[in-house]
Amino acid sequence: MNFNKLIILSICLLTGCNQKNEKILGYIESDYVYVASTASALIQDVYVIDGQPVKKNTALLKLDDFDYLTQEKNIKAQIEQALILFEHYEKDYEDAKILFEKKSISQNSLETSQEQYLNSKTNLILLENNLKSIQKKINDLTPTSLFDGYIDKVFYSKGEFVTLGKPLLSLYDPQKIKIKFYVPQEKIQEIYLGKNVKFKADGLNDDLSAKISFISKEIEYTPPVIFSTESRKRLVLMVEAIYQEDFILRPGQPIEVFL
């Protein structure tokens, strides 16, 4: 072997000539959607479990709706009575207009009939709006998935009591999966928005691809929780890249990124 080539080979073995293939360890991440309670109520039933795939509009769980169903029943009864009054006063008003044209009743009688008609109409509209509001609340007690996705975590079980606004469960959209990794400061010049990076995930033979969508503006110390082969602290830049292929990855899954 030529002496010069031997020197170059020795340097490569000591320092690593294939710097571009150096792996950076990271993980899969997704933006979670939290489904919150729309009322303070008991959980009547839970239809999903952790990790379960769900289709758009799938019912996720159900909160107790007894009180709202009772209100709905009462309002419907009030609407029936209000409708009878409205139809009565509507006919009276139509008759009053004809009688007034014939000068059979006074202006005051016509205005009284009109006022009764308008009041009954306003009351009927108010009750119908109340009914729609109650029915919406009843529907909201059975939240559904807004997209095809996966259940991440169900926080409560059947029979537990939850208060208004409490997160009931979390889910994520597999089409919005991204990878997150930390680039050492000496490699910052190699990254830019829009750059395609290759990465590997456990159990897959082929490299996957993602496009860099976010680069942190500030350099930071290696966070304490990170997939890293080094124990010492070092300065890094946090980077996110959007996963662009069909294979479904799961949040938290470790990966190896190649710049």
Tokens 């009030």 correspond to 78
- For the ranges 70-74, 170-174, 229-233, which has the lowest average pLDDT? 229-233
- Give the tens place of pLDDT for each residue, 142-152: 999 999 999 99
Query: Are the beta carbons of 89 and 120 closer than 8 angstroms?
Result: yes
- Residue 177: its pLDDT value, please? 87
- Residue 246: its pLDDT value, please? 63
- Give the tens place of pLDDT for each residue, 157-211: 999 999 999 999 999 998 888 999 998 888 888 899 999 999 988 877 778 889 9
The predicted model gives 43-70 an average pLDDT of 96
* Alpha-carbon span 44 to 51, nearest angstrom: 21
Q: Which residues of 239-253 are buried (b: 16+ CB within 10 A; e: fewer)?
A: bbbebeeeeebebee
- Residue 235: its pLDDT value, please? 74
* SS3 state at 172: strand
Beta partners for 59?
Answer: 144
* Alpha-carbon span 51 to 192, nearest angstrom: 34
Residue 9 in this model has a pLDDT that exceeds 50: no
- Residue 114: its pLDDT value, please? 96
* Short-list 31, 22, 21, 18, CA closest to 240: 31
- Residue 222: its pLDDT value, please? 61
Q: Which domains does the chain have, with CATH numbers?
A: 16-31+174-258 (2.40.30.170), 32-62+141-172 (2.40.50.100), 66-140 (1.10.287)
Band (10; pLDDT cuts 50, 70, 90): very low
Residues 215, 25, 152: CA angle, nearest 5 degrees: 80
Q: Does the model's pTM come out above 0.85?
A: no
Helix residue spans in the chain (DSSP H): 3-15, 66-101, 107-140
* Short-list 177, 145, 147, CA closest to 248: 177
- Residue 185: its pLDDT value, please? 80
Q: How many helices (H) and strands (E) does the chain have?
A: 3, 14
